[in-house]
Structures are given as C-alpha cells and as structure tokens.
Structure 1
Amino acid sequence: MRKMESVVGALFLLSTGAFLVGSGILDPILHRTDLLVRVDSDRMSVFAGWFLELINAIAVAGIAMLLQPTLKKYHEAFAFGYFASRVMESALLLLSLICPLILLALSKPSISAGAPGSGDSYLQMLGNLTVEAHYLLFDMAMLVLSLGSLLFCSILYRSRLVPRWLSMIGLIGYTGLLASSSLSIAGLDLGAILYIPGAIFEVVLPIWLMVKGFNRHPQASA
C-alpha cells in the first residue's frame, strides 16, 4: 500500500513537471506568426516539448490505474468515473500531440513554396487550424480532468483518506479548472488564475502521499 501511494505521488509530480516544462517549450513556438517557416528550424525543441507532454499523458493514465483499487472501496461509481475521466484525458492529450507533428510535416512544403502565394496561404490556414485543434483538445482534456477529479476529491473528503482541508483545496481547485476550461472552449480566456488552487492541490497531495500516505483508518461520512 505504501509503495503504491509513493508511486502515485511520484506520478502526480512527474505529470505536473513534465507538462509545465513541455508546454513551456511548445507554447512559444505554436504562438508565432511565422509558425510554418520557423517550426522546422525549431524541430529539436518541438520534439523535446512533445516528448515531455507525452510523458504527462502516460502518467495520468498510470495514476488512474493505481488509484482505482483503493478508491472503489469507498465509492465504486465515483471511483469508476474518476478512472474513466483520466483515461479520456490521456486519450485527448495524445490526440493533441498529433498536431505538432502535423505542423512539422506542413513546414517542408511551406518553406519550399518560397514567396507568399495562394498555396502558401492554404498551408498557413492549415497550420492555424492545427494549432487551434491542439488547444481545443487540451481544453477538452482539462474539462474531463476537472469533472473526474471533483469525484476523486469527493471520495477523499467523505472517506478522510487525507485531511479534509486538502480535499477542500482540491474541490475548489478543480471547480476553478472546470470554469476555466469551459470558458476557454467558449472562446473566453481568463488566463491561468483559475488554475492556481488546482495546481496547489496537485503539488501538496503527492507530497502528502509520499511522506504520510493515505489514512490507515479512514471513516466514510454518513
């Protein structure tokens, strides 16, 4: 049990760290106006960011599989909902990672086109749509994550597997993430402010699991 909790904590930190570094590498590249011209010269950076985000996508599925046996003891339906949400999140993140590879494929004909023309404009349009698809898939992944993690935090709160103050931070954080991702899909970007409580939870929870683990004598609330 302690080994599983430590592994889950490590996967949470690996997932968070890999995503932060990977998106920090990819995002500046994807927001360039001369994207297709420059992306080929930044090929190594694209692959580095892509690989780190791939690690994130795999890690979230691992978290779901390792937590499922413990969570289903306290609320089987919520546990299945959390498991399903993290698998869906992983699948959406993997789909989003196809987009940088498409951009690399589009960059070659764009460079070969040379002077701007109708063909170059068509490639630019495809490139812009690919970037939009990447971020839309990410927002959908965050929407699914927030819904499933609200179920996860509800189990933690009811069972007292971790202190209730920590469960409350998670409930607040994932409510903010749900609002942020919903608004982003609707075209309203409020920035990263609503991500902060959830980010705190995803740092504090894994450290708690690695140091103390789940409560050995949890009590389900009425």
Structure 2
Amino acid sequence: MRKKTNSDRRSAVITGVLLIAGIVAGIFSVVPVIDGEDYMIKAYTQENQVLIGAFFQLLMVIAYVGIPSLMYPILSKHSKGLALGSVAFGIMAGVFIMIGVMILLLLLTISHEFAKAGALDMSHFQTLGELLQAGRDLVNHVATTLAFAAAMLLFNCLFYRTMLVPRWMSAWGLIGSALSLAASLLFMLRFIGLDAAYMMLNFPIAFQQLVLAVWLIVKGFNVNLPRPDEVGTR
C-alpha cells in the first residue's frame, strides 16, 4: 500500500494549479492581430496585444517544464526512464515556446519597420513577415505541441501503471495525447490547418488536463490503492 505524505499532497495540488495555469496562459497567449491577414499593419498599432500575448506565452514555460519536473520524484520510483522522458519533453516544449515568443517579437519589430518604410520597398517586408508567421505556426503548433503531447503521453502512461489517479482518467489522457500528436503531424503535413479539425483533435487532452487538475487539487493522489505489482500477491 502507498503511504500518504504531505509532500505527495503538496505535489498533487501544485501540479493541478500548474495545469490550470497552463491552460489559462495558453488562452491569453493567443494574438489575433498576428494571425490576421493585415498583421503587418495592425501589429504595430496593437502593440500591447502582442506584448500581452508574449508575456502569457512565456508563463506557459513554467507549466510545461514545471509539471513533469515536479512529478519526477514521485513517478521515477516506478519508472525512471518514462519519468525522465516526460521531463525531457517538457523542457523541449519550454524551449520551443521561448523560440515562438522571439518570433512573435520579431514580427512586431517588422511591423514597426514596415510602418516607417511606408510604401517604399514593401515586398521584402511581406516576404520576411510571411516566413516568420509560417515559422511561428510550425514552432507553436507542431514542435511545441508534439513535445508537450509526448510529455503528457508518458505522464499518463505512468499514471495508468501506478494508479495514482483513476485509470479511466489516465486512459482518457493517453487517447487525448495521441490525438494531439496526430493533430500536429497532420498540420505539419498540411492535411489540416488551424481550423475546427485541429481544435477538435486537441480538445480531449485540454479538457482532460482541466479535469485532472481539479481532481489533483481536490482529492490528490490515490495513495491508498495497491500498486499493480501488489495486486497479484494478494
């Protein structure tokens, strides 16, 4: 039987808070002006929206890196390889997020320069802006999502094996992570865009993270359940 400790309870609560913080930060990191067709002109005039989006995107790093790192001491007792893998993918996701922030700020800089240049030699601004916009989409919706979905896949795999949370929730997380990975790969291969199909494929893991967060904050880990390797000895 697992023994309940204050450390486990604290880790569960902090993990739940970080999951919710990551979701909220992700929502506020959306920058409609950059995703619009007239981003070259409008980004300069709506600079605060871009900077706020960049700020919340940076906050996502805390959640993406913090969740697997915080859980490592607990999960490594059951599988150091999977636990370490989740941390590695979480760090990768954090790095990609920071790259995405830098690209976002570069787009803002180009918008400033575009406004100064006026009608003179606009073509190279447009070309550079389009390249950066495409690069930002690939970083945010392919690289970052693939890394974090892989981290969550390992995370939920360990949860399923250890029964620290109900297995139905872990199974939901495994399926949701797989769908999120598929969404990023399909977007990368241009089978889908940033459309309803992409959002629907990512919705299950996002909703599972919210449910998991509430569960961890309210109930914590199922520390009184026997380990899978203990069930057969009874």
TM-score normalised according to structure 1 size: 0.93
In the alignment, which residue of structure 2 is the partner of 1:184? 187
In the alignment, which residue of structure 2 is the partner of 1:30? 34
In the alignment, which residue of structure 2 is the partner of 1:161? 164
Measured after TM superposition, the shift of residue 145 of structure 1 is: 1.5
- 2:26 pairs with 1:19: yes
How many residue pairs match? The answer is 217
Q: Identity of counterpart residues, as a percentage?
A: 31
Question: For the residues of structure 1 that align with 2:76 and 2:88, how far apart are their CA atoms?
Answer: 13
SS in 2 for 1:40: helix
In the alignment, which residue of structure 1 is the partner of 2:10? 3
Which residue among 66, 70, 75 is the counterpart of 1:66?
70
- 2:128 pairs with 1:126: yes
Which residue among 167, 170, 173 is the counterpart of 2:176?
173
- The letter for the 2-side match of 1:149 is M
Which residue among 197, 201, 212 is the counterpart of 1:205?
212
In the alignment, which residue of structure 2 is the partner of 1:94? 98
Deviations 1:61-82 (A, max 9, x none): 1112211100101111111111
Question: For the residues of structure 2 that align with 1:134 and 1:218, how far apart are their CA atoms?
Answer: 44
Mapping 1:74-153, distance limit 5 Å: 74-115=78-119, 117=120, 119-138=121-140, 139-153=142-156
Q: Is the 8 A contact 1:22 1:52 kept in 2?
A: yes
Unpaired runs of 5+ residues, structure 2, are: 1-7, 230-234
Question: For the residues of structure 1 that align with 2:64 and 2:210, how far apart are their CA atoms?
Answer: 14
Q: Is the 8 A contact 2:156 2:174 kept in 1?
A: yes
Q: Is the 8 A contact 1:159 1:218 kept in 2?
A: no
SS in 2 for 1:135: helix
Measured after TM superposition, the shift of residue 221 of structure 1 is: 2.8
Deviations 1:66-121 (A, max 9, x none): 11100101111111111101110111111111111101111222112222x5x211
RMSD over aligned CA atoms reads: 1.3
Measured after TM superposition, the shift of residue 217 of structure 1 is: 3.0
